[in-house]
Structure 1
Amino acid sequence: MWRCSTYEFDERMPIIMGILNVTPDSFSDGGQHNRPDDAIDHALKLVEQGAHIIDVGGESTRPGAAEVPIEEELRRTVGVVAELSRRGVCVSIDTRHAEVARACVAAGAAIINDVSGFRDPAMVDAAAACDAGLVVMHMKGEPSTMQNDTSYVDVVAEVRDYLARRAGELEASGIARERICLDPGPGFGKTPQQSLELMRNLQELVRLGYPVMTAASRKRYVGFAYGIDDPKDRDVASAAEALLGCELGATIVRTHNVEATASALRDLRPLAVIALGCNVALVAQPGEEREAKIAQLNMAIGALCTLPDTDIVDISSFYESEPAYYEDQDPFVNAVALVRTGIAPKELLGYLHAIENSLGRVREIPNGPRTCDLDIVDYQMYVADTEELTLPHPRALERDFVVRPLSEIRPNFAFADGSTLSDADVKYGAAVRIG
């Protein structure tokens, strides 16, 4: 759960944040909702269309934007926040100023969305003094200067590491981890190509274990990727980007066009967790058995790539593990893959058995040696207990060779039955990361 004051949001399903700019100069909708009555009407319309949160912004942060006086930002936002909160709407305040954040939280805002990433100690103090949810964004410099320096050696790694540090510092200030959401900030101190690379690798941020926001709506990188010059014409492409971001593991979707986004997100495919194992090297020189086992798992991963309506989202490192249950056999090499798939669980199981058979698996001894083992550990929002298939996998949390690799790529994973990832019940298959 992402905890935002009195609101809790289940991270397993997309959370739509509708954008409400009460500004005269925002890049795509400035001046459209300046009057409080117009702003409130538009916000309520976004809620009707499927928005779970309304993000109120009183200062444009487009490239080159000048800072707005605090008094003016307060005048634009506090009354709108108070009225929407009074009407039962979960409100986020989009600001980089602690005074505005405090006033809007006092008026009922449940989330502080800070484009400057809580770099200001006063903003950290404001966050620590309340129980609002927090959106921590990456931006180089300030809006007026952020496009002056867009140099990165590795934009994905640098943004990931920055956000990890900022979140860690917030936690060190006494802020609960479950309040924190991360936003990579596409377009903020980044070229369109850098933003595109960043948004195509959101799984790297998801590995940090916090909710992740995808905020592609009408951004310049969307225009770059889809060849659309006018920001107002980018809504369909932005919705497609929102869907892709959620498939990669993002949870919160910030958007101007809630209706188009909600429609696109109906195509979000379930997330399946697949555990891979091998301890019989078919072809290996003496001393190279581990490498041969890894090669066979890579062949299985390659076969997963060929499944219809299925995409691999993330894959853990390889781990070497002790045999479990039947101990008189060689060590295993294991990994965990996350896939988005439109294949139903029992049909998916059939595909996995076909991959195992193609790689020479022979089922002679229960839990015995095998050239390839593919198990469905979890299938999002699906629970089953039949002779053919039990989900979530009933032994997943007692197996170190499942818990460790899954923890690497989804530290706070929640299973379909509501249980959460933990090593408290691990008993078998002690695993060590090997690469």
Structure 2
Amino acid sequence: MLNTNHAVWRCGNHEISLARPRIMGALNVTPDSFSDGGENLGSEAAVARGLAMLDEGADIIDVGGESTRPGHRPVSPEEEIRRIAPVVRGLVAGGAVVSIDTRHAEVARMGASLGAAIINDVTGFTDPAMVKVAAETDCGCLAMHWDQGGLGSHPAHPGAGRKEVQLDDSRPARPAPVALAVRGGVSQHRFTLPDQAPIMRQIMGFLGDQARVLQRAGVSHDRICLDPGPGFDKFADEDVVIQRATRSMVSMGYPLCTAVSRKRFVGAVAGVDEAALRDAATQGMCIAAVANGSRVLRVHDVAGCAQAVNAYWAVAEKDARQGFVSLGSNVGERVANLTRAVQLIDQIPLTCVANVSHAYETEPAYGISTPVVNCVAEIRTELHPLVLMDHLLKVEDKLGRKRDPNRDPKKPGHTARTIDCDLIWVEGETHQGAKLTLPHPRLGERDYVIVPMEDLMHNPARFLEHGGVRVAERTERVGAVTADLGEIEWA
């Protein structure tokens, strides 16, 4: 293994590595969400949108059945369950890591029973019933700060001592600043923002207290993630102060979620009134948060955020990962096809080939009618796996790979091909989606992968099983190796 950062967020059966930023796609199954209300209201459309987010770069899908926009209409737990249950069921069946965005214990319990891996509680697990659900499941817990009375960050705070419900967006009014002196009849002010200290004492104190409540109930430290709750009964100025304090919140020792997507304060600082047009500004704030240690980004525009964060990460961080690509050819000069594919992979940006196995003749598998020549290339890459997969598909195109446009991408191919490039494993990465699944779901059953990997390491079965991949016995595998065709001269 190349990396030494082994921080993970444990969520049900999933261990989400936080060695790089993770994207949580917001999927609102409500008619009145502040940024995308009604777009995904039907369960089939919502499931399709959630699965599409996986291919766009989402690591987690956060499903919400109750809007938290200003002036929202609260819904009963029964109505919330009716809205989201089929969506959760469909996304879990599709392999997604699902988060339930709810403040109701009944909804959280239902989600966990259907396979949801995370409980995202906007009230920060202040309800003992929610704490009980967290303790009785193995879900990850996302605890958010929300004080409906406001932060009271300024002596002239208009909401001090008064409860003002303003959900999922910044309160429109700004607190009146304190006049420090009068010169020439004009009030003079010293600061553009309120003092950070009282704001962060309140937020970090609350989040720390709630994390300890969860731990005392039996929730392990590595299941807890924190969210300062931008936009929830907070002024725009206060939200900016909170975002500037990201590094301080990260120092508490828990993963930190940045959930600023399309919020009013984001539009305020960027000059964008319409929520749906605030994605570029959202991405700017997300990159600032990542630079200061936040590792979970909750956004609506997954594709745009993934593009921005991947570009930032590539130039800001040295993050080389070990990976393996399985190559196969059963058309034309098969060994030459493998050789050229390896050479093209070595030319992919931020990627190099470290080693290549021998070429092996193997029995046809998955409906292919002719023998195949296979090898495995060990690589080092600093690209996001989905970005790397796009490059591998381009390698296939350059070598004349023909694809059936009607083929189910989740099923193995049944056609001849000049080259097949399967990204089968990347260090610290798990992913589900139509474009890419990591580790490869059939990795452990393929003799034409396991045998070539023996050229690259002492015991690939033990290596893979340590990462959760079961390797079948030789007699149970498909695509049996029949001949060693020797080294591939690719350098």
TM-score, scaled to structure 2: 0.54
**Structure 1 runs not aligned, ≥5 long:** 273-380, 382-435
User: What amino acid does structure 2 have at the position aligned with 1:244?
Assistant: A
Question: Displacement of 1:271 after TM fit?
Answer: 8.0
Asked whether 1:110 is paired with 2:129, we answer no
Indicate the residue corresponding to 1:315 in structure 2: none
Are the counterparts in 1 of residues 100 and 108 from structure 2 also a CA contact under 8 Å? yes
User: What amino acid does structure 1 have at the position aligned with 2:31?
Assistant: P
Asked whether 1:136 is paired with 2:143, we answer yes
Question: Displacement of 1:12 after TM fit?
Answer: 2.0
Indicate the residue corresponding to 2:461 in structure 1: none
Question: Displacement of 1:142 after TM fit?
Answer: 8.7
Question: Displacement of 1:216 after TM fit?
Answer: 1.1
Indicate the residue corresponding to 2:155 in structure 1: none
Indicate the residue corresponding to 2:242 in structure 1: 198
Are the counterparts in 2 of residues 17 and 51 from structure 1 also a CA contact under 8 Å? yes
Indicate the residue corresponding to 1:11 in structure 2: 18
Q: Deviations over 1:211-236 (max 9, x none)?
A: 00001110111001111100111011
State the aligned residue count. 273
Question: Displacement of 1:189 after TM fit?
Answer: 1.4
Asked whether 1:78 is paired with 2:85, we answer yes
Q: Deviations over 1:170-192 (max 9, x none)?
A: 11111100000000000001011
Question: Displacement of 1:64 after TM fit?
Answer: 3.0
Asked whether 1:189 is paired with 2:272, we answer no
Asked whether 1:218 is paired with 2:262, we answer yes
Q: Using the TM superposition, name which of 58-67 and 73-82 deviates more.
A: 58-67
3-state SS, counterpart of residue 253 of structure 1: strand
Question: Displacement of 1:61 after TM fit?
Answer: 1.1
Are the counterparts in 2 of residues 150 and 189 from structure 1 also a CA contact under 8 Å? no
Asked whether 1:99 is paired with 2:146, we answer no
> Identity over the aligned pairs, expressed in percent?
44
3-state SS, counterpart of residue 135 of structure 1: strand
User: What amino acid does structure 2 have at the position aligned with 1:47?
Assistant: L
Indicate the residue corresponding to 1:338 in structure 2: none
In the aligned structure 1, how far is the partner of 2:22 from the partner of 2:220? Answer: 20
Indicate the residue corresponding to 1:234 in structure 2: 278
Asked whether 1:243 is paired with 2:287, we answer yes
Are the counterparts in 2 of residues 7 and 110 from structure 1 also a CA contact under 8 Å? yes
Are the counterparts in 1 of residues 33 and 67 from structure 2 also a CA contact under 8 Å? yes
Indicate the residue corresponding to 1:171 in structure 2: 215
In the aligned structure 2, how far is the partner of 1:93 from the partner of 1:232? Answer: 23
Question: Displacement of 1:141 after TM fit?
Answer: 2.5
User: What amino acid does structure 2 have at the position aligned with 1:133?
Assistant: G
User: What amino acid does structure 2 have at the position aligned with 1:100?
Assistant: V
* CA distance 1:129–1:47, shift in 2 (3 Å): same
What is the RMSD computed on CA atoms of the aligned residues?
Answer: 2.1
3-state SS, counterpart of residue 31 of structure 2: coil
In the aligned structure 2, how far is the partner of 1:241 from the partner of 1:173? Answer: 34
Indicate the residue corresponding to 1:21 in structure 2: 28
User: What amino acid does structure 2 have at the position aligned with 1:128?
Assistant: A
**Structure 2 runs not aligned, ≥5 long:** 1-7, 151-162, 176-193, 320-426, 428-491
Indicate the residue corresponding to 1:368 in structure 2: none
User: What amino acid does structure 1 have at the position aligned with 2:284?
Assistant: A
Are the counterparts in 1 of residues 174 and 236 from structure 2 also a CA contact under 8 Å? no
TM-score, scaled to structure 1: 0.60
Bigger radius of gyration: 2
Q: Deviations over 1:314-366 (max 9, x none)?
A: xxxxxxxxxxxxxxxxxxxxxxxxxxxxxxxxxxxxxxxxxxxxxxxxxxxxx
1:45-56 → structure 2 map (5 Å cutoff): 45-56=52-63
